[in-house]
Structure 1
Amino acid sequence: MGVREVILLVQCLLGSSLAMQCQTVDGILKQIDAGAGQVSGVNDNDEIYILYGRSWTKLPGLLKHVTVGPSGVWGTNKNNEIYKLVAANWVKTPGLLKQVDAGGDQFVAGVNMNDNVFCLGRDDTVGYKGSSSPLSWQVLPGNLMYYSCGPYSCWGVNKAQDIFVMTGVTPTACMGSTRWEQVLGKLVMVEVGTDGSVYGVNAEGTVFHRDGITACQPAGTVWTDLSVCGKSKHVTYDLGHLWVIDLDGKIQDCQV
């Protein structure tokens, strides 16, 4: 897949005149993830792509969800098996997850088929090379259908579309405080950037940004409606770029 640049003026903030420069990216994806300077995604056939410069490169294997971040490139397949990219090869890891996130500070987190929440600390993620490396998945309290982490907090949503944040996470204490703080609003997915910024999508396909997030105030203050063209189903953010997938799988790269 190649990249075709089309400059669009998108009203970024509801009721605001601020506009973003967006590029329509060639190709169709169902899920995309950006982190640590990389962008990767999968299409409806579970084919895996990673963006180099202005072109997509297809990776071997099949995954339904892929994630990139400080702890590497990870993914899960249609059987919920977990893989990490090691020396350009997908290496199977112990456990089962339907969604995985590598955006934490060298730790990985995700949820399984029963919406149980798990995380894996730095010693296991960075050092994992294959079956000879043991892994110790830690189980968090509660149930979520989507979970994403950043440098100092993790965010998730449950089946009722309620939003929760877990603070106090560190590379060696990925479970954080183990106390969920509910955040006002409703979302069907939420993503945390490697800089701690938080974006999400609601059931109507509207994209939101969480304002006021700092290391001292990891839950932020309010949600801002980003009026991206069309209805969206997936978003991810890294290094000033907001990547948006609409209901048809079309991709936009918007500079924030």
Structure 2
Amino acid sequence: MDVRSLILLVQCLLGTSVAMTCREVPGSLKQIDVGVGQVFGVNDNNLIYTLNGETWTKLPGTLKHVSVGPSGVWGANRNNYIYKLVGGYWVRVPGLLKQVDAGGDQFVAGVNMNDNVYCLGRDATVGFSRENSPAPWDRLPGALMYYSCGPNGCWGVNSNQDIYLMKGVTPTACMGSRNWQKIEGKLVMIEVGTDGSVYGVNAGGDVYRRDGITTSNPAGTGWTHLSVSGKSKHVSYDLGHLWVITSENKIMDCTV
């Protein structure tokens, strides 16, 4: 394949590039998650913060990963213990995960330290309110290092940076079809918004958006590169705003 053909192939796979309008938000975080109008994040010391207006408010406890969505606020700490925020307090949930996602339709999902993929159905997710409440996690086939859910399905990436979609996911059947659809491209993390939009970051720190996602076509049609100043390592989208954490832990609030 000559150089010109290779360039055309890359353009076909990655789509167009769109410039983002971004503002830097005061503070420093290593991971951020937004959903249902709320913003949560954790810093390098695993301290937990939520944004109220323009002010970051520190929450009790420590987490290495936090997630907010229709399922509430969930997180995982450095020991891979799982927690749910209940009445302003973190309540431990049975099980172990290194990354948890609360973006599903009142169910949660995540991956553990062995890249095994799990989900917890709506009844157990919504009903979980106290220590030692039942948490019957379902294990999905395959292995992923990051997993995120929304109204049109769940997306994940594996250790080879391959991208996969699980369709047919519902609040009472969080495992979906149990058949993974491989999506073209390479990413190291991926996040699904409450509205079903999908964004991700590749190994080079570039940000991408999946276009053409609908209820009838949850896989979408292609990727668009979003031009953000510098290198990125984490993204999350809600209500028209793409929140980006840069390689230097800067917090950016971006709009297209």
- TM-score normalised to structure 2 length: 0.92
What does 1:172-191 align with in structure 2 at a 5 Å threshold?
Answer: 172-191=172-191
Secondary structure class of the residue paired with 1:215: coil
Secondary structure class of the residue paired with 1:123: helix
Question: What runs of 5+ residues in structure 2 fail to find an aligned partner?
Answer: 1-13
Contact between 2:204 and 2:231, CA under 8 Å: does it hold in 1? yes
CA distance in 2, matches of 1:197, 1:73: 20
Task: Specify the code of the residue in structure 2 equivalent to 1:90.
Answer: W
What is the CA distance between 1:20 and its match in structure 2?
A: 3.8
What does 1:110-125 align with in structure 2 at a 5 Å threshold?
Answer: 110-125=110-125
Length, aligned pairs only: 243
Contact between 2:15 and 2:223, CA under 8 Å: does it hold in 1? no
Contact between 2:15 and 2:222, CA under 8 Å: does it hold in 1? no
Task: Specify the code of the residue in structure 2 equivalent to 1:199.
Answer: Y
Alignment deviations for residues 206-256 of structure 1 (CA, whole Å, 9 cap, x no partner) = 000000001110010101010111000000000100000110000100124
Match of 2:52 in 1: 52
Contact between 1:14 and 1:226, CA under 8 Å: does it hold in 2? no
Task: Specify the code of the residue in structure 1 equivalent to 2:131.
Answer: S
Match of 1:143 in 2: 143
Match of 1:83 in 2: 83
Task: Specify the code of the residue in structure 2 equivalent to 1:184.
Answer: E
Task: Specify the code of the residue in structure 1 equivalent to 2:113.
Answer: M
What is the CA distance between 1:121 and its match in structure 2?
A: 0.7
Secondary structure class of the residue paired with 1:57: strand
CA distance in 1, matches of 2:190, 2:202: 9
Is residue 64 of structure 2 the alignment partner of residue 64 of structure 1? yes
Task: Specify the code of the residue in structure 1 equivalent to 2:72.
Answer: G
Task: Specify the code of the residue in structure 2 equivalent to 1:21.
Answer: T
Secondary structure class of the residue paired with 1:125: helix
What is the CA distance between 1:75 and its match in structure 2?
A: 0.2
- TM-score normalised to structure 1 length: 0.92
Over 3 Å counting, the alpha-carbon distance change for 1:19 and 1:186 in structure 2 is closer
What is the CA distance between 1:15 and its match in structure 2?
A: 6.3
Task: Specify the code of the residue in structure 2 equivalent to 1:50.
Answer: T
Contact between 1:46 and 1:62, CA under 8 Å: does it hold in 2? yes
Contact between 1:14 and 1:227, CA under 8 Å: does it hold in 2? no
Secondary structure class of the residue paired with 1:126: helix
Match of 2:162 in 1: 162
Structure 1 runs (4+) greater than 2 angstroms displaced:
13-16, 18-21
Higher relative contact order (CA 8 A, sep 6+): 2
Alignment deviations for residues 59-93 of structure 1 (CA, whole Å, 9 cap, x no partner) = 00000000000010000000000000000000000
CA distance in 2, matches of 1:144, 1:14: 25
RMSD: 1.3
Contact between 2:82 and 2:96, CA under 8 Å: does it hold in 1? yes
Contact between 2:82 and 2:92, CA under 8 Å: does it hold in 1? yes
What is the CA distance between 1:54 and its match in structure 2?
A: 1.1
CA distance in 1, matches of 2:116, 2:215: 27
Secondary structure class of the residue paired with 2:51: strand
Match of 1:26 in 2: 26
Secondary structure class of the residue paired with 2:194: coil
